[in-house]
Amino acid sequence: AKIFAYSIRKDEAPYVEEWKKAHPDVEVEYTDALLTPENANLAKGADGVVTYQQLPYKADTVEALHEAGISKWSLRNIGIDNIDLKKAKELGFTLTNVPVYSPNAIAEHAIVQAARILRQDKRMDDKMARGDMRWAPTIGREVRDQTFGIIGTGHIGRVFMDLVEAFGAKIIAYDKFHNDEVEKKGYYVDSLDELYAQADVISLHVPSLPENIHMINDESIAKMKDDVVIMNVSRGDLIDTDALLRGLDSGKIFGAVLDTYEDEVGIFNANWDQKGVPDARLDDLIHRDNVLVTPHTAFYTTHAVREMVMQAFDNNLLMIQGKEPNTPVTL
> With respect to ligand COI, which residue has the nearer C-beta, 109 or 296?
296
- The pairing of beta strand 201-204 with beta strand 170-174: unpaired
- DSSP assignment, residue 204? E
Query: Looking at 76, 158, 235, 306, which residue is catalytic?
Result: 235
Q: Are the C-beta atoms of 47 and 3 separated by less than 8 Å?
A: yes
In one-letter notation, the amino acid at residue 238 is L
The residues, ordered by sequence, that sit 6+ positions from 233 with a Cβ below 8 Å of its Cβ are 106, 109, 110, 113, 156, 203, 204, 205, 257, 259, 260, 298
Catalytic residue list contains 307: no
- Contact residues for ligand COI, defined by CB under 6 A: 52, 54, 77-79, 296, 299
Cβ at position 142, least distance to ligand COI in Å: 30
> With respect to ligand COI, which residue has the nearer C-beta, 83 or 317?
83
Rounded to whole angstroms, the Cα distance separating 275 from 265 reads 17
Catalytic residue list contains 214: no
Rounded to whole angstroms, the Cα distance separating 237 from 265 reads 11
Rounded to whole angstroms, the Cα distance separating 188 from 180 reads 11
> With respect to ligand COI, which residue has the nearer C-beta, 64 or 106?
106
Q: If residue 255 lies in a helix (H) or strand (E), which one and from where to where?
A: strand 253-258
Cβ at position 151, least distance to ligand COI in Å: 16
What burial class does residue 106 get, using C-beta atoms within 10 Å of its C-beta: 0-12 exposed, 13-18 middle, 19+ buried? buried
What burial class does residue 133 get, using C-beta atoms within 10 Å of its C-beta: 0-12 exposed, 13-18 middle, 19+ buried? exposed
Cβ at position 268, least distance to ligand COI in Å: 10
Cβ at position 125, least distance to ligand COI in Å: 27
Cβ at position 257, least distance to ligand COI in Å: 15
3-state secondary structure of 134: coil
Catalytic residue list contains 264: yes
Cβ at position 311, least distance to ligand COI in Å: 11
What sign for the dihedral angle of Cα 116, 117, 122, 124? negative
Rounded to whole angstroms, the Cα distance separating 316 from 50 reads 7
Rounded to whole angstroms, the Cα distance separating 65 from 193 reads 44
Q: If residue 113 lies in a helix (H) or strand (E), which one and from where to where?
A: helix 103-118
> With respect to ligand COI, which residue has the nearer C-beta, 254 or 299?
299
> With respect to ligand COI, which residue has the nearer C-beta, 106 or 171?
106
Query: Looking at 262, 264, 306, 307, which residue is catalytic?
Result: 264
> With respect to ligand COI, which residue has the nearer C-beta, 48 or 99?
99
Residues recognised as catalytic = 235, 264, 296
